[in-house]
Amino acid sequence: MNNPQNVTYFEARKWASFRIKDAGDVDMYDVDFLLEQLFDLSAADLLIHYQARMPNERWQVFQDAIHQLLKGIPPQYIAGKADFYGLSLKVTPAVLIPRVETEELVDWILNDNPDANLKVLDIGTGSGAIAIALKHFRPHWQIVASDISSAAIEVARQNATANQTRIQFALSDVFEDIHDSFDIIVSNPPYIAKDEQPYMDRRVIAHEPDLALYAENQGLAIYKQIAAGTSSHLTSSGRLYLEIGFHQEAAVTTIFKAAMPTAHVIAKHDASGHQRMIQVKK
């Protein structure tokens, strides 16, 4: 673990490439992510610093980070940071690591609602990713972010402060402690069935919070909870936006048509063509 000669950033990266070459679920993207996030470097900064000597303290931190990576810990948890919609968010094992696919849900909401002054509820906010992104780009919106996990709420509060976004937080199991009506309700709820684990990344199974991943009834339980309360919490012209699993479009559509027979349900696929989002208009 010593660095008597002070390796360069290029040499450190090369060392990491040899360490991970037999690790099937780790790649150089993870290595570069750690170099950039741990030492506050952009991709351009990393290139510029390639031949610069890495301070010994950084070399120690980097070696430890690679050892954690090889143990299966997601790089975002190692760095304590994740990128989402151009923002930097703190992440801990108490919250789900935000996914790029969820950015498309934020796109949909922002594109549908360019100027209006709206009241928004984000159910199951986790790190606060969706709520903070919406508030950042629509600062005049009133946003309430809820979660069943007090640990997640604390992380989301810190992220809201760090990103200078004023958001109200509520500890609530879906609508249990929510009493207002909203123009937009959005949620990326737990939607994975336990029997889907064989198809999942082992790092997700081992390290991301079960509470944010899995739902009963083949992953549909939280959608049923949301459907049961949407009518009484959505304004007359309001819209509900949901992220869904890659095979859940028909099932989730059926749930909302049964709970809200006069509602209009629109499905949307992501950039890869996968079932990903549902919109419900009252």
Binding annotation for substrate: 188-191
Q: If residue 41 lies in a helix (H) or strand (E), which one and from where to where?
A: none
* Pairwise CA distance, residues 245 & 222, whole Å: 12
Which residue, among 104, 83, 65, has the nearest Cα to 277 in the 3D structure? Answer: 104
What are the binding residues? 124-128, 147, 188-191
As given in the structure block, the two tokens for residue 275 are 């079932």
> Could you tell me if 130 and 102 are in contact, meaning their C-beta atoms sit under 8 angstroms apart?
yes
* Pairwise CA distance, residues 155 & 129, whole Å: 10
For CA atoms 173, 175, 178, 179, the dihedral sign is negative
What are the binding residues for S-adenosyl-L-methionine? 124-128, 147, 188
What are the phi and psi torsion angles at 88 (to 5°)?
-100, 130
Residues contacting residue 124 through CB under 8 Å, at least 6 positions apart: 146, 147, 148, 187, 188, 189, 190, 212, 222
User: What type of residue is 83?
Assistant: D
Which residue, among 235, 137, 247, 252, has the nearest Cα to 187 in the 3D structure? Answer: 252
Per the DSSP assignment, residues forming a β-bridge with 170 are 146
DSSP 57-87: HHHHHHHHHHHHHHTT--HHHHHTEEEETTE
Three-point CA angle 234, 240, 220, nearest 5°: 115
